[in-house]
Structure 1
Amino acid sequence: MSMSQLATEATTVSIGTSNASDTSALVRRRRLPASWLTPVLTLPAAVLITVFFAIPIVQVIILSFTDPQAGLSNYAWLFSTPLIGQAAVGTFLISLSVTIVCLLMAYPYAYLMTIVSARTRSVMTMLIMVPLWSSILVRTLAWVVLLQDSGPINGMLTAIGLGPLQLIRTPLGVGIGMSQVLLPFMVMPLYSALSRIDTRLVTAAKSLGAHPVLAFFRVYLPLSRPGIFSGCLTVFILALGFYIIPSLLGSPQDTMLSAMIQLQVSGFLAWGRGSALGVVLLAATLVALIVVARLGKNTRTSKGGAK
């Protein structure tokens, strides 16, 4: 190889190395600092939440203080109207009752899902998820047919000597319909928590002489508290805002806050009063979140102290 060829190849290698170093330097200059990475990645979600959630909530709060005139007149009306208080108490009682019923029904079901075979678990998951694929309105209309005075359920109760009972247009009928709709939202968090529990702990407690019932309440149940808190919070918050089921299965005497909001906004065009009701319902939801979060924190703290 001649000296000229060697010089040419050396020049080519030198140019390639220079270009590579220039490219890597350019990439390093264009790379964002690590401290900017999180804000940039979360920016689309922050914009979405701000536009579709934060701004409407702020508008509702402002409207509750300014319509039809600036001041606290809407909140004074809200807290001085006995009907609103009755609707609020009824809403919370029904929501709490539905939460308890869903917990009592979902806990055994979720526990059974943790001990069966994979195929049976898939079938059980499908059974609990299929109702979510149909419209709430359609399911509610089906309950209207089932719960009416001359419906199939009252027919069976009459045949065995327990009926007929007043099921529709009562809080009981509302609770039945809401429990059926909200049950999946209790089952899935419970199953997620129960599937992570090591059942050998219960076996160890039994081997040390603990009764099975005592082993359940002292070992298994405390370990499932995260799923209980999550499921109860989800069901309770969703139940607070239900409108269709209470409207179709309930009675005017058992009106919930969601129906009162709809009546004020659509019926009376009282946007300020409806907004005030919405703000109070939102505040009650936030209080429920804080209480459950505090209970969960205390539970984790007590577990850490026990260790």
Structure 2
Amino acid sequence: MSPGDEHDYRGTDQGGRGDDPYSTLGGTRQTRTRLPDGDAGHPHPRRPVRNSRSLVTITGVVVLLIAAIAFANRGGTSDDNASPGPKNPGTAGSAPTAPTGTKPVQGKNGTIPAGFAQDEQGAQSAAANYSVALGSAEMFTAESRRDIIQATHDPAVAPKLQDRLDTAYSPAFYKNVGLNDDGSTPTGLTFVSRTVPVGTKVVTMETDTATVEVWCTGLVGLAGPGSTKPVTETWFTISQELKWIDGDWKISASSQTEGPTPVNGDNRASTADEMAAAVDAYGGFTYAR
């Protein structure tokens, strides 16, 4: 996806989708800046750049989870005309990510936090936590995927979304990620798929609706000896349209854009074993503002 491209998958009357980067479930158009090798300020030479074919393969799957959600969402939702005119939040610009004095949510809907406050803080917390769930490895298993969709989405859109995702997660789709045809992980490898929110922003806020953007970094790949799909990172921003339903925020529609993406640093890439051990040892967070 070219920087700045944005696609909204709420309607079915958008016309042809030949330019849709998600039409291949995880495709992305991405450029990479290659900096000079080591100099006086960087005495250690940079890691070799992968050949173009492997780079295309890797970048083609790094956003596949959210891409699949967006692909499925394009079939339409029941919320096309539900939101009134936009209403800007209280102050312009970004709000500081700092403690508010409000305790994080205590409820759970399965493994996903629930019971968010009906205010800007609650909407941002819901959007961040839902991004984590939708970018998890559990999305690759049919049963847990359906549980995640039911926990995070408006009941009016969840059934069709589930059906489209069940179709999208095909044997060919799994193969593109390096998994077995049934979505299981090959013996001796660890499948990694995590979305990590970096920040949130309220775009519009009404009593029962909100639009929240979540800036994220993600990890996707297979860790372990002999992996042909090493764990790589990507940066993207998810826009979620939320609706207040039965005492909690639920997603009624979503879309994604690439970036903002920082310049890669000079950190040494960890070995496959180190990456697998880290995934097993470090858990995720419940996000609240």
In terms of fraction of residues, the more helix-rich structure is: 1
Return the TM-score normalized by structure 1: 0.25
Return the TM-score normalized by structure 2: 0.26
Larger relative CO (CA 8 A, sep 6+): 1 or 2? 1
